[in-house]
């Protein structure tokens, strides 16, 4: 069976991820198939909107399928990963810029690469068990697939907090942070999707929406804004260490698990990507890091510890207190002729 089911259904273009046993992890081929469909459907007048969903209850998409990146990267071949990221980021940009409404139904885990497919549309729907996160710093990568832009535009300092701690967002938290738009109980999804296919009327989603169960982030935001407001990761650490509260202890424990270099770069990226930046600027900045991540950062070690040896004991290149501004600059400096390019018509955006 294919890993993805792409078809036209009524007035909609339909994309269904069909790898439930793998938590619908996104493969390179799936990325290319989505991109090809987006190209065709943007010009198809019979399609009024897109509907993206996934099989299974556990996950919409728990991330990218990174085993092949580890195999090629540890063999000294960095080009496969760079090619994967470049093509994936092009798909993310095309989805973000798609000229018709895009509805995504995000049950269970939506993480990493799943955010790049599910959280750039116009009508992002969550349900009771939705858990959205950007956990890349835990494997030595920065929040990517356009997630850096969502984090940078999150209210207050939620972006810095979510990007560095990899905190999971339930439905209310995802809506607050700008990763989702609507809460619709999962039991109502099949009928809603069927009506969308029949009518192409995206306003049906507004009519089906309900108040989400109470989240956690709203109550924590005053502390998040106070402690995560520094210019650098070091500033954040100093603020957290200066107070002994349940929040600071929990935040420090999360930071101590993740790659110091990745977190320091994630903080810098959140500050570079202000309100006036767009998806292509964010993806271009992300690519500067991911292009270098196998050779000069912690990505391969992070994958080893998380999914190869599964010892959960990565040996990061830095400690929390030894990442310097020069280390961050080295990962985020322009790539020159190797910079990310986009294979669509829109041009002219400068990268931060």
In tens digits, the chain (352 residues) has pLDDT values of 589 999 999 999 999 999 999 999 999 999 999 999 999 999 999 999 999 999 999 999 999 888 889 999 999 999 999 999 999 999 999 999 999 999 999 999 999 999 999 999 999 999 999 999 999 999 999 999 999 999 999 999 999 999 999 999 999 999 999 999 999 999 999 999 999 999 999 999 999 999 999 999 999 999 999 999 999 999 999 999 999 999 999 999 999 999 999 999 999 999 999 878 999 999 999 999 999 999 999 999 999 999 999 999 999 999 999 999 999 999 999 999 999 999 865 544 445 7
Residue 331 belongs to some domain of the structure: yes
Residue 313 belongs to some domain of the structure: yes
Residue 126 belongs to some domain of the structure: yes
- For 65-72, which contacts have Cβ atoms below 8 Å and span 24 or more sequence positions? 65/22, 65/25, 65/26, 65/27, 65/28, 66/139, 66/303, 66/307, 67/303, 67/307, 68/28, 69/294, 69/299, 69/303, 70/300, 70/303, 70/304, 70/307, 70/308
Residue 85 belongs to some domain of the structure: yes
Q: How many domains does the chain have?
A: 1
Residue 232 belongs to some domain of the structure: yes
- Distance from C-alpha of 21 to C-alpha of 130, rounded to nearest angstrom: 17
pTM (predicted TM-score): 0.96
Residue 40 belongs to some domain of the structure: yes
Question: Do residues 283 and 152 make contact, with C-beta atoms less than 8 angstroms apart?
Answer: no
Residue 121 belongs to some domain of the structure: yes
| pLDDT score, position 275 | 79
| pLDDT score, position 150 | 98
| pLDDT score, position 152 | 97
| pLDDT score, position 259 | 98
**CATH number of the structural domain spanning residue 192:** 3.90.226.10
Residue 347 belongs to some domain of the structure: no
Q: Give the structural domain span for 114.
A: 4-337
| pLDDT score, position 18 | 98
């Amino acid at each position: 069976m294919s890993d993805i089911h792409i078809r036209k259904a009524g007035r909609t273009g339909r994309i269904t991820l069909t790898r439930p046993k793998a938590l619908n992890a996104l493969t390179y081929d799936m990325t290319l198939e989505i991109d090809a469909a987006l190209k065709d459907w943007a010009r198809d007048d019979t399609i009024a909107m897109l509907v993206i969903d996934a099989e299974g209850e556990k996950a919409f998409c728990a991330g990218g399928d990174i085993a092949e990146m580890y195999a090629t990267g540890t063999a000294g071949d960095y080009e496969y990963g760079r090619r994967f990221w470049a093509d994936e980021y092009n798909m993310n940009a095309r989805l973000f810029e798609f000229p018709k409404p895009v509805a995504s139904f995000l049950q269970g885990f939506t993480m990493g690469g799943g955010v790049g497919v599910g959280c750039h549309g116009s009508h992002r729907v969550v349900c009771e068990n939705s858990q959205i996160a950007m956990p890349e710093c835990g494997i030595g990568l920065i929040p990517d697939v356009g997630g850096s832009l969502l984090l940078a535009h999150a209210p207050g300092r939620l972006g810095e907090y979510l990007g560095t701690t990899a905190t999971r967002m339930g439905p209310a938290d995802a809506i607050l942070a700008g990763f989702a738009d609507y809460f619709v109980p999962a039991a109502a999804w099949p009928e809603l999707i069927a009506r969308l296919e029949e009518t192409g009327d995206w306003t049906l989603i507004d009519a089906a929406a309900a108040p989400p169960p109470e989240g956690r982030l709203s109550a924590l935001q005053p502390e998040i804004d106070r402690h995560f407001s520094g210019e650098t990761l070091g500033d954040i650490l100093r603020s957290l260490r200066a107070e002994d509260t349940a929040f600071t202890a929990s935040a420090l424990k999360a930071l101590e698990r993740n790659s110091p270099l990745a977190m320091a770069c994630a903080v810098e990226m959140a500050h570079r990507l202000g309100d006036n930046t767009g998806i292509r600027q964010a993806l271009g900045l992300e690519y500067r890091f991911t292009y270098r991540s196998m050779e000069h950062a912690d990505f391969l070690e992070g994958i080893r510890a998380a999914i190869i040896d599964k010892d959960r004991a990565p040996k990061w290149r830095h400690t929390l207190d030894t990442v310097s501004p020069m280390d961050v600059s080295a990962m985020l400096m322009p790539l020159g002729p190797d910079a990310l390019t986009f294979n669509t018509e829109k041009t002219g955006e400068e990268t931060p």
